[in-house]
Amino acid sequence: MKSISLIFGTTNSLPVGTPPQEFERVYQRIYKPFLRVLYNMPNVPLTLHYSGTLLTWLDSNHSEFTDVLGEMVQRKQVEMLGGGFWDPVFSLIPRQDSLGQIEGLTTFLRKRFGRRPRGAWITEHVWEPFLASTLKNSGIEHIFLDDHHFKVAGLHSGELTRPCLTEDQGKVVVVFPVRRSLEEHIGVTPPEQVLASIRELATEDGSGVISMMYDGRRYANGSTNSHPDYDDHWLERFLTLAQKESDWLTLTTPSQYLRGGTPRRRAYFPATSHDDMMLWTLNPGRQRTLLHVKSVLNGSDEDDGYLAGGFFRDFLTRYPESNMLYAKMQYTHVLVNQIRGDKYRKQAAREELWKGQSHTAYWHGAAGGIYHNHLRKALYRALIEAEKVTREKGIFIPSIVSVDYDMDGLDEYLYQGQEMNAYVHREGARLVELDYLAVPWNYMDVMSRHMERYHEELGDDTAFDRYTRRSFIDHFFTPYTTIDQFDAMQHDDAARLYTRVFTVTEYHRTGNDLTLECEFDLKTADGNCKMKLQKCFTFENSTVSGEVTLTNMDTVPAAGVYGCEVNLGFVSDQVDALRVHVFPESDPAIARKTLLRRNRSDSDSDSGIPHTEVGPSRQVLPDAGTIIYEDLVNRLDIAVSFRQQAETWSLPVCTHSMHENHLDTIYQGSSLVPRWTFAIPPGESVQYSVSLRISRS
């Protein structure tokens, strides 16, 4: 009789930055009932993966869960899989960190459950060939990859039911294929039909194995007709029926299966992931093309191996915000590994660094990913904490470092101070990162509005940004440009300096000033006018000041409207998280004293200079001198002030991203654009000044 083996289990993780109430909700709805069902079926072997993030929370908040899990491990019902402690995508992080993260989870599992894992879970099945040697050097003997990897490697049909060996630098690991077409039926299709599909894959020699390793959280946020309904006992019915089919079906774990012999077939898997991921890495146009080609070919599932799609690292080029987070992580890795002579401080810094490598906020797929503001903020918080640990008290000296921080071929200029970091990019002479170390928080982390394929499919007419939302972005408007046109990105910019590479004219490593300039042609009604823009940044304590000098280098007058865009990243625009105040006063210290006096008295009496509280909604603020954002989450004030009063546009930055088949509107930050009308005679100049000052509330 034909027969086959079945490896059944789940992979479980919640990303760094997940609110505690969400941990509790998913635990009560998914993790707890799942384990209850399996605990009462002691003859059913399971293969389970839990990230270190989740295990730590479970052990601290529901130790009864990990106690039961430990009992199931001891009675050899459960095989625990290792992997990266903080659930990283291994191909994105330095190999040294991969080794450390794997060993971290291995150590936790060995101490908590008494057994060292021999297998590992590869996050999102993101694979690159070098990982074979990394895993083997960490004591890992077997892993799971999506059957899409096997198809791309040239394996088909019956070869998709057998594990194989893969190798790098002479290091060999066993790879089990996960049958994705079957796991998609879990909790949706009647158990009898799922088992019938498995039986069709059985072979005469019985050496085949089917792996059904599904995301234990995948259904936690789903609709009632798409998640395993534990009240209806889908899981219990499936496994009960599977046990009754023991004449042709053997329930097993990877280690039990390999006791029957190590596979001798070898395969090399290219850099890929599951096919959905490889679709998401592409831009909307290429996504449509790939889907069209697949529909035209209309072949079998095996034909998908010839249409691999993109490459996971393409997310770093598709989303500049992803690349900036990646750059922060890589730069922090260098700083952490420069620590010498203090192993405890180095380990503390490493743990924060590894926490900042949690994968979800680096990419975008079906569940939001990088668009989730709170997830990015959590990773920046961890990476900034790691950097703080690297700074040795009494030795660290503020300075400006020139380095190709974001790996784009241009040197960026990184001011690293006692209270803040401020990073300036030569493209557009923009401030691209502003870390307030005490919190810690990156106030330049604002997600831009990117075009996604689903926007068109769902008829969403949201505007999309032309550039990355950062600060000190130069604009030249016509006098008739409106805030609505700007918000919709339908305005004409007479120079588009945010695409130009500026030249650094003054910079001292041990100083606190940086000067950049750019010559350009300003489009006017009478033709082009040759201009120069010089921008001088000054960094002092927790203040960044940018002084802009516009010079008319032509023989004809220059006229127009200049705007300097500032974007600030907050976690929420709700009134209990963010309040906004507008002052005509240009001195931020005076404006802040007035705000503090009003807050203490809780009334407008004796409140000092005139001011108005406004919300972070879209509006025009006439004659603004200082705008103060009360960040109630971090208990900080961020004052944006202008030397000359300006009519200022104030706008929220919100993105629409797909989540569970609908669009979520997510607040990413607030944008300010002070605007000044100028008329500059030939050879003359005008100056404008914008400063950002962060203060404790």
Instruction: Work out the angle at residue 522's Cα, subtended by the Cα atoms of residues 519 and 526, and round it to the nearest 5 degrees.
Output: 140
CB of 375 closer than 8 Å to CB of 14: no
221 half-sphere exposure, CB direction, 13 A CA radius: 13
Q: Judge whether 580 and 629 are in contact, CB under 8 Å.
A: yes
Q: Tell me the C-alpha to C-alpha distance, in Å, between residue 678 and each of 340, 476, 563, 650, 667.
A: 54, 10, 11, 21, 33
Which residues, 6+ apart, have CB-to-CB distance to 272 below 8 Å? 127, 148, 149, 152, 278, 308, 309, 311, 312
pLDDT of residue 610: 79
Instruction: Judge whether 308 lies within some domain.
Output: no
Name the domain boundary from 257, 273, 289. Answer: 273
pLDDT at 302: 58
Question: Per the domain annotation, does 131 fall within a domain?
Answer: yes
Residue 326 inside a domain? The answer is: no
Residue 601: other Cβ atoms inside 10 A: 11
Is 137 among the domain residues? yes
Rounded Cα distance, 272 and 242, in Å: 32
SS3 (DSSP) at 467: coil
Flag whether 422 is in a domain: no
Q: Residue 308 and residue 146: Cα distance in Å, rounded?
A: 13
Give the pairing type, strands 473-477 and 513-524.
unpaired
Would you state the structure tokens that stand for residue 562, as one six-digit string?
């200049």
- Most confident region among 90-104, 279-293, 515-529 by mean pLDDT: 90-104
CATH number of the structural domain spanning residue 258:
3.20.110.20
Q: Are 681 and 693 in contact (CB under 8 A)?
A: no
The whole-angstrom separation of Cα 159 and Cα 177 is: 9
Q: What is the residue range of 99's domain?
A: 4-273
Stated length of the chain = 697
- 595 or 266, which is more confident? 266
Residues 122, 359, 420, CA angle at the centre, nearest 5°? 150
- Residue 581 β-bridge partners: 613, 628
The whole-angstrom separation of Cα 573 and Cα 514 is 33
Torsion angles phi and psi, residue 454, rounded to 5: -70, -20
Beta bridge partners of 160: none
Domain final residue pick, 273, 288, 318: 273
| Interstrand relation of 164-168 and 171-178 (parallel, antiparallel or unpaired) | antiparallel
- Give the Å distances, CA to CA, from 291 to 308, 309, 314, 481: 11, 10, 18, 40
Domain count, the chain: 2
pLDDT of residue 460: 80
- What is the tens place of the pLDDT at every residue in 486-523? 999 999 999 999 999 999 999 988 889 999 999 999 99
In angstroms, the CA 439 to CA 422 distance is 15
pLDDT of 604 higher than 70: no
Predicted local confidence at residue 588, as pLDDT: 86
Question: What pTM did the predictor assign?
Answer: 0.95
Is residue 380 one of the residues assigned to a domain?
A: no
- Cα 512 from chain centre: 31
Looking at residues 637-651, what average pLDDT do you find?
A: 96
Average pLDDT over residues 119-127: 97
Residue 331 domain-assigned (yes or no):
no
In-domain check, residue 583: yes
Q: Do residues 10 and 215 lie in contact, with contact meaning Cβ atoms separated by under 8 Å?
A: yes
Output Rg (C-alpha) for the chain, integer angstroms: 28
Chain segment 525-564, per-residue pLDDT in tens: 878 999 999 999 999 999 999 999 999 999 999 999 999 9
Q: How confident is the model at residue 106 (pLDDT cuts 50, 70, 90)?
A: very high
Sign of the four-CA dihedral 255, 260, 262, 268: negative
Of 409, 527, 532, 558, residue with least CA distance to 474: 532
For residue range 436-488, list pLDDT tens digits in order.
Answer: 999 999 999 999 999 999 998 888 878 999 999 999 999 999 999 999 999 99
Q: What is the CATH number of the domain that holds 521?
A: 2.70.98.10
Cα separations in angstroms, 654 against 242, 446, 617: 48, 9, 11
Cβ–Cβ < 8 Å for 83, 51:
yes
Q: Of 500, 517, 514, give the one whose Cα is nearest residue 551.
A: 517
Which structure tokens are listed for 206? 């019985």
Q: Which of 235, 250, 273 is the last residue of a domain?
A: 273
pLDDT at 117: 97
What are the pLDDT digits (tens) for 342-365? Answer: 999 999 999 999 999 999 999 998
Strand partners of residue 674: 648
- Read off the pLDDT band of 218 (50, 70, 90): low
